[in-house]
């Protein structure tokens, strides 16, 4: 019976079907986006792959081969960059998610003080990373900078935060945590607001303490939000290198070299486009793999909730 | 529970104050008169004479009007084109059933994981080939399609019942008219949220504009600020550097403080949907 | 309507007539770095405006492109994009690489068109500058401003510890001795360092090459861009000297300090001596309130310093009109009057010998003894390190020296590593050059 689902819907479906086929309409509507996607996402991947497979050494004719990849994996600097990126990702994602969650849990209730504190934590989100880098260049200045100056008052000697390979990456990580934690806190706040109060009430009635409730109710229901924020934090960790570009330029001794900065260096400074392309291909593959992994966890979380 | 609150509250207050320190220093240093070799450049105490000289000098030696204008053009331009591309594509995925729609959607989503900055080298080549090197259009081009926006619009459209546009179409409206006059107004909150996220992201973008643009007249705020602070730092002009940074950070900070709730709910809204 | 239309047309004609002469001007862009300090960028803009006024048929847009390294990146990107700047100020040691990659225009024909022989033209500049300006016997870069590393000393601190500031250390032995006396400690805290020097990319390589040359070394092959001498006794000795300053004599702080931190410490008295470019002379003059003086860089085997500074190149790919306009700009920049003015304003010395014959310059040199020191050191100046893939090969050394300064590695091992990395980077060029033999 054609009209047992609801008369209007069926009439409209009939009306729609008399027009152009769905795929033609879809193609027309998707075309604007598709053009840009093709030009600036898919074609670049293809061209980078082609360039990566083209070996062109000084004074020689270009030829096909895996030479760029072999050189890439043999390059100590690339290994260092990958290691630094991994350290940086771990150092920023873990602490900032933990802090963001903690702040969100502590500040989720309404009230003027809470609103003020939340605002203070969120402000860094609004300035460009290069502005943060400028401020922190002074803060981390050895001797006369903000940190050392105040530490001196406590009797602690000056340290060259950005000038020592032991602490430079830590300094970069600290800047990122300062910048992004408030942003992640916002997502957690919304996630927490989405958990019905009844769950907590019921658990309280059952005698569950605050930590039990956190573990059994809050965190599981926050799953999708956690997954989402994790992916954003991961992407940020791998793509935000503004402070490296302006403050440390990969140094000292390559200790703040990251994958994206390595690509920038090879392409712009060393003009080794084959190597830069190979590094691009490898990082795209790695990024996709990592993100797929994270997405799958996110999917699982969503299914759990629904 | 109340007994436990106090120490937690204290900790969070301390953390928030710590978070504010860089901004506090920025404000104090910007207003502090410049004394070469001053030993108290790091002091957070707003003592002594206040001066606006740093702001005047920053305005004079930087090119803030040009940078602001360019950033506005870039962010506005990107947003305008994005609104078109994401609405159309979002509609297609939300309302149309066509073979392979899942694959195509995945292909779109892939871009979420590949922000243009990762593909910076081949994108630069593409821009150059299109003759857009050293132009504002070159900065805008890779961002005009936004997988994030498509995803968001799809979710938003899906949450709107079909009845409205069906009614419009029965009345004789074309699909495009239905989208424009019926769906988009209903999807306004989602679009507004997307707009705020998009503008914030592109206002703060640095590496890509740095690579694309070389003429001073095409510099955006982030690139201009980086060169401004680099030269201020090399002269140890911390007050100047702080003032310049404040000139850049100012608008968004003020905008945030004025439209806090909208801002926050947009950022969150887009994330959760 | 007709009157309006006519008026509009007339206005259009008038506007066109006003714009036309401006349109007829050759528009050129000029990339310049200012490695030292912001006021120099403003002064450069002012100079360019003056040129534009004096030459109404040319309109130069000066583009400040950051540090020497950044300017290199920007210029190459512009060349790649098919939009080369008409003129670009490059670190003097980058000229060789622009020639190797075929991106710089030889200037011999332009010189000849002006009626001079290239060899004679180059006689206008100090001898030490000529090596970096030329490649294969042809002129590619015109020296714009130059520097050598200088030793700046805090006179009060010297007197305080019984040293005579009029007799600054001239050998490494004297240097270490003075630094030890000048270093002041308060328990485990050092309240005043004997010596500080910038150890960031570019600066570190430059100063290290100076120390290597003072240690009798050549550092790099000045005749051909395919060789560097990192793993040699003279280099290892110089790097070991830096290591000792930090870890053995404890007169220098460990870690990488940039020029800001170094000048900050010197101005506030937290460091008694510093090695810095002569390009910072006027900056130091403006900011150092305590009495100070400049001296030659101390040596171990023989006095020798590298030159620093920048040269002006014309990238290939510019139209003849742009090239002609750029050539005019370049020659204006290196005219005795302008070169002298820039030198007095910045502290860089004027590459143009004739600039020092002008009365303003003579008066200035008489009143500024530290500027005279910089000029006198020119007698010992040698060319600046320049190879194929200069920046990467330079960084191969700098990364290791930074690690040495941080106590991560010892000099012999560090230099062996640096040499290995540098050779890997130079290999493509070497394979097409010295190791390319007839079959």
What's the pLDDT tens digit per position in C387-405? 999 999 999 999 999 999 9
Q: Does A252 sit behind a cis peptide bond, omega within 30 degrees of 0 on the bond before it?
A: yes
> In this predicted model, which residue has the larger pLDDT, C134 or B260?
C134
Beta strand extents in C41-123 (DSSP E only): 58-64, 87-91
- Domain A75-305 architecture: Orthogonal Bundle (1.10)
The structure tokens listed for B164 are 């409205």
Interface of B with A in 20-59 (CB under 8 A): 20-23, 25-26, 29, 39, 41-44
Shortest Cα distance, chain C CAs vs residue B17, angstroms: 28
ipTM for the complex? 0.84
CB contact under 8 A, B214 and C63: yes
Question: Between chain A and chain C, how many beta carbons pairs sit less than 8 Å apart?
Answer: 90
Q: Is the pLDDT of residue C116 over 80?
A: yes
Residues in chain B: 273
Residue linked to tokens 């304003």? C345
> In this predicted model, which residue has the larger pLDDT, C66 or C118?
C118
Cβ contacts of B128 on chain A, cutoff 8 Å: none
Provide the pLDDT for residue C95: 95
Query: CA-to-CA distance for C47 and A281, rounded, in angstroms?
Result: 46
Shortest Cα distance, chain A CAs vs residue B208, angstroms: 10
Q: Which chains touch B (3 or more CB pairs under 8 A)?
A: A, C
Q: Is the pLDDT of residue A20 over 80?
A: no
Average pLDDT value for chain C = 90
pTM value?
0.85
Q: Residue A270 — pLDDT band, cuts 50, 70, 90?
A: confident
Decide: helix, strand or coil at residue C14: helix
CB contact under 8 A, B23 and A123: yes
CB contact under 8 A, A40 and B26: no
CB contact under 8 A, B113 and A288: yes
Provide the pLDDT for residue A1: 46
The structure tokens listed for A249 are 């330029």
Handedness of CA C211, C212, C218, C224 (dihedral sign): negative
Cβ contacts of B271 on chain A, cutoff 8 Å: 186-187, 190, 225, 228-229, 232
Provide the pLDDT for residue C111: 95
User: DSSP of A136-186, one letter per residue?
Assistant: HHHHT-TTTSHHHHHHHHTTPPP--TTTSTTTHHHHHHHHHHHHHHHHHHH
The pLDDT tens digits of the residues spanning A77-121 come to: 999 999 999 999 999 999 999 999 999 988 888 888 888 898 899
User: Of the candidates A37, A125, A190, which has its C-beta nearest B272's C-beta?
Assistant: A190
A163: closest chain C residue by CA: C256
Give the rounded percent of residues in chain A with a pLDDT score beyond 70.
90
The structure tokens listed for B139 are 């900065």
Helix, strand, coil in percent for chain B, rounding step 5: 75, 0, 25
- Per the CB < 8 A criterion, the answer to whether C31 and C75 are in contact is yes
The pLDDT tens digits of the residues spanning A35-50 come to: 999 999 999 999 999 9
Cβ contacts of C189 on chain A, cutoff 8 Å: 157
Residue range A281-297: average pLDDT? 83
Provide the pLDDT for residue B2: 44
Shortest Cα distance, chain A CAs vs residue C404, angstroms: 10
Positions of chain B with pLDDT under 70: 1-4, 36-40, 233-235, 261-273
b/e for B198-221, b at 16 or more Cβ within 10 A? Answer: bbbebbbbbbbbbbbbbebebbbb
Interface of C with B in 47-106 (CB under 8 A): 61, 63-67, 74, 77-78, 80-83, 85
Q: Residue C89 — pLDDT band, cuts 50, 70, 90?
A: very high
CB contact under 8 A, B96 and A9: no
Cβ contacts of A103 on chain B, cutoff 8 Å: 12, 15
Shortest Cα distance, chain B CAs vs residue C358, angstroms: 30
Q: Residue A207 — pLDDT band, cuts 50, 70, 90?
A: confident
Please enumerate in sequence order all residues whose Cβ is within 8 A of that of B46, keeping only pairs 6 or more positions apart, or say none: B28, B31, B32
User: Of the candidates B36, B133, B230, which has its C-beta nearest C287's C-beta?
Assistant: B36
C390: closest chain A residue by CA: A270
Provide the pLDDT for residue C24: 67
- Stretch among A11-25, A234-248, C288-302 having the lowest mean pLDDT: A11-25
Domain boundaries, chain A: 5-52, 75-305
- Stretch among A207-211, C106-110, C417-421 having the lowest mean pLDDT: A207-211
């Amino acid at each position: 019976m054609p009209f047992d689902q609801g008369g209007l819907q069926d009439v409209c479906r009939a009306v729609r079907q008399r027009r152009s086929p769905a795929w033609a309409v879809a193609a027309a509507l998707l075309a604007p986006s598709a053009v840009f996607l093709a030009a600036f996402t898919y074609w670049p991947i293809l061209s980078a792959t082609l360039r990566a497979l083209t070996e062109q050494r000084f004074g020689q004719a270009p030829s096909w081969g895996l030479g760029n990849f072999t050189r890439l994996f043999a390059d100590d600097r690339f290994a260092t960059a990958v290691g630094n990126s991994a350290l940086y990702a771990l150092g920023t994602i873990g602490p900032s998610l933990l802090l963001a969650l903690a702040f969100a849990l502590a500040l989720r209730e309404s009230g003027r003080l809470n609103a003020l504190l939340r605002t203070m934590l969120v402000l860094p989100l609004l300035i460009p990373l290069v502005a943060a880098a400028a401020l922190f260049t002074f803060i981390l200045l050895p001797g006369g900078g903000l940190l050392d100056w105040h530490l001196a008052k406590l009797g602690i000697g000056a340290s060259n935060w950005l000038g020592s390979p032991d602490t430079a990456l830590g300094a970069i990580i600290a800047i990122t945590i300062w910048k992004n934690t408030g942003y992640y806190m916002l997502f957690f706040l919304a996630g927490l607001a989405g958990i019905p109060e009844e769950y907590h009430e019921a658990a309280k009635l059952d005698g569950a303490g605050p930590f039990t409730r956190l573990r059994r109710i809050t965190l599981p229901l926050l799953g999708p939000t956690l997954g989402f924020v994790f992916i954003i934090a991961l992407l940020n960790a791998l793509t935000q290198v503004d402070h490296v570009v302006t403050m440390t330029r990969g140094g000292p001794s390559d200790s703040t070299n990251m994958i994206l900065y390595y690509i920038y260096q090879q392409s712009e400074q060393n003009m080794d486009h084959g190597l830069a392309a190979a590094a691009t291909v490898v990082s795209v593959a790695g990024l996709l793999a990592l993100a797929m992994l994270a997405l799958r966890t996110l999917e699982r979380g969503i299914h759990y909730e629904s | 529970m109340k007994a436990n609150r106090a120490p937690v509250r204290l900790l969070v207050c301390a953390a928030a104050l710590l978070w504010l320190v860089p901004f506090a220093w920025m404000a104090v240093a910007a207003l502090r008169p410049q004394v070469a070799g001053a030993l108290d450049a790091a002091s957070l105490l707003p003592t002594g004479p206040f001066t606006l000289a740093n702001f005047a000098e920053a305005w004079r030696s930087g090119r803030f009007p040009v940078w602001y204008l360019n950033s506005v053009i870039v962010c506005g331009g990107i947003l305008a084109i994005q609104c078109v591309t994401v609405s159309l594509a979002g509609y297609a995925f939300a309302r149309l059933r066509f073979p392979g729609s899942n694959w195509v959607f995945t292909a779109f989503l892939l871009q979420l994981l590949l922000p243009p900055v990762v593909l910076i080298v081949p994108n630069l080549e593409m821009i150059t080939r299109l003759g857009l090197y050293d132009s504002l259009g070159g900065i805008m081009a890779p961002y005009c399609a936004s997988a994030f926006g498509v995803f968001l619009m799809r979710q938003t459209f899906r949450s709107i019942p079909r009845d409205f546009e069906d009614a419009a179409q029965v009345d004789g409206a074309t699909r495009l008219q239905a989208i424009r006059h019926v769906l988009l107004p209903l999807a306004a909150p989602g679009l507004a949220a997307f707009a705020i996220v998009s503008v914030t992201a592109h206002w703060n973008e640095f590496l890509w504009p740095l690579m694309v643009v070389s003429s001073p007249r095409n510099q955006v705020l982030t690139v201009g600020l980086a060169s401004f602070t680099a030269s201020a730092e090399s002269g140890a002009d911390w007050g100047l550097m702080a003032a310049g940074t404040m000139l850049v950070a100012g608008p968004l900070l003020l905008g945030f403080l004025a439209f806090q709730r909208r801002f926050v709910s947009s950022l969150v809204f887009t994330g959760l949907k | 309507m007709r009157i309006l239309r006519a008026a509009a047309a007339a206005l259009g004609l008038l506007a066109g007539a006003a714009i036309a002469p401006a349109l007829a001007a050759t528009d050129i862009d000029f990339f310049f770095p200012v490695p030292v300090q912001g006021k120099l960028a403003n002064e450069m803009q002012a100079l360019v405006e003056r040129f534009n006024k004096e030459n109404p048929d040319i309109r130069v847009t000066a583009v400040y492109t950051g540090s020497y390294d950044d300017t290199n990146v920007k210029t190459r990107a512009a060349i790649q994009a098919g939009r080369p700047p008409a003129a670009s100020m490059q670190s003097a040691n980058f000229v060789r690489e622009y020639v190797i990659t075929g991106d710089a225009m030889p200037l011999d024909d332009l010189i000849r068109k002006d009626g001079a022989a290239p060899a004679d033209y180059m006689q206008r500049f100090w001898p030490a500058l000529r090596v970096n300006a030329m490649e294969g016997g042809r002129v590619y870069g015109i020296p714009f401003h130059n520097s050598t590393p200088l030793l700046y000393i805090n006179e009060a601190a010297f007197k305080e510890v019984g040293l005579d500031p009029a007799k600054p250390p001239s050998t490494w032995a004297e240097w270490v001795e003075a630094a030890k006396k000048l270093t002041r400690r308060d328990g485990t805290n050092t309240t005043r360092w004997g010596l500080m020097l910038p150890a960031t990319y570019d600066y570190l390589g430059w100063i290290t090459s100076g120390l290597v040359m003072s240690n009798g070394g050549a550092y790099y092959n000045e005749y051909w861009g395919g060789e560097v001498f990192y793993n040699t006794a003279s280099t290892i000795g110089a790097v070991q000297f830096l290591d000792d300053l930090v870890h053995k004599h404890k007169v220098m702080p460990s870690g990488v300090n940039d020029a800001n931190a170094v000048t900050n410490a010197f101005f506030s008295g937290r460091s008694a001596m510093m090695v810095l470019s002569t390009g910072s002379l006027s900056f130091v003059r403006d900011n150092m309130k305590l009495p100070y003086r400049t001296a030659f860089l101390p040596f171990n085997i023989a006095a020798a310093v590298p030159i620093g500074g920048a040269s002006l190149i014309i990238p290939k790919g510019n139209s003849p009109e742009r090239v002609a306009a750029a050539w005019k700009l370049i020659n204006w920049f290196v005219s005795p009057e302008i070169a002298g003015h820039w030198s007095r304003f910045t502290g860089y010395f004027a590459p143009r010998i004739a600039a020092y014959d002008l009365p303003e310059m003579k008066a200035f040199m008489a009143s500024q003894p530290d500027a005279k020191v910089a000029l006198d050191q020119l007698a010992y100046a040698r060319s600046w390190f320049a190879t194929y893939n200069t920046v990467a090969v330079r960084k191969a050394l700098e990364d290791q020296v930074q690690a040495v300064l941080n106590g991560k590695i010892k000099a012999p091992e560090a230099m062996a590593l640096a040499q290995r990395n540098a050779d890997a980077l130079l290999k493509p060029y070497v394979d097409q050059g010295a190791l390319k033999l007839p079959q």
